[in-house]
A and B are shown apart, each in its own frame.
Chain A
Amino acid sequence: MSEIIGTIFIVIGLVFDIAGCIGLIRLPDVYNRLQATTKSITLGTCSILLGAFIIKGFTGIGVKSLLCIMLLLLTAPAAAHALSRAADISKIKAWEKKDALS
């Protein structure tokens, strides 16, 4: 039973990861791509690790994956903040939608 629930969590995480990578291709700007990275890919990877914890229970793999979830949730926003500030200082303009096309 726990294997089925864990596999469902892993499949949800893979869907989030693929959507984030498609966002890296489709979105037009550095800041938008940073949003795709720091939201979708982080949440997808956390879902995969949670699936590993549900399948394995309180063994070595499960506890280490819980630790890894904590570490990702702490470090991913800090890295995104540093990169966005670097993009702002090196004078990259933000993309805006043209009114004529819409």
Chain B
Amino acid sequence: MKLKYLRWSAAVLSLILVLLFINIYPIPSLLGWQSSFLARCFFILMICFAICLLRIVLGPTSVDRAVVINALGILIVGFCAILSIPTGRDWYLDIAIAWALQSFIGALAIAKYLEGKGLDE
């Protein structure tokens, strides 16, 4: 029981350290927008991607991996939205809309396959 609390506090401490490191470490600004606060934000989303990939490695059944792929499809939409604010290009949101629709259709197809039916019933 005490080991559980120890593990929890170690995880919280390491997460806070990683977030502080991301927001303090100086990024070399090549294009001009990379040193703003919003540009730091998508490094936080990259930590989310890493945690999701860890669940793909660990997942015991195949439905787990389908769930994580659905979650990644939703996270990429937010990634494109954050990327479009400092650059000012609006075709990132086009990519986001297309990616959301494609991820939805992919999730439906994987679900139909896992139920054991064909794609057209």
Contacts and interface: CB of A to CB of B under 8 A. Distances in A.
A32 B86 CA distance: 36
Determine chain B's interface SS by DSSP, over half rule.
Answer: helix
Nearest to A44: B78
A85 B73 CA distance: 20
Interface in A1-54: 7, 10-11, 13-14, 17-18, 20-22, 24-25, 30, 33-34, 37, 41-42, 44-45, 48-49, 52
A90 B77 contact: no
Contacts of A45: 74-75, 77-78, 81
Determine chain A's interface SS by DSSP, over half rule.
Answer: helix
Contacts of B85: 52, 55-56, 61
Given A14-B44, A30-B64, A86-B115, 7 more contacts: A30-B67, A48-B82, A52-B85, A64-B94, A68-B97, A83-B63, A87-B63
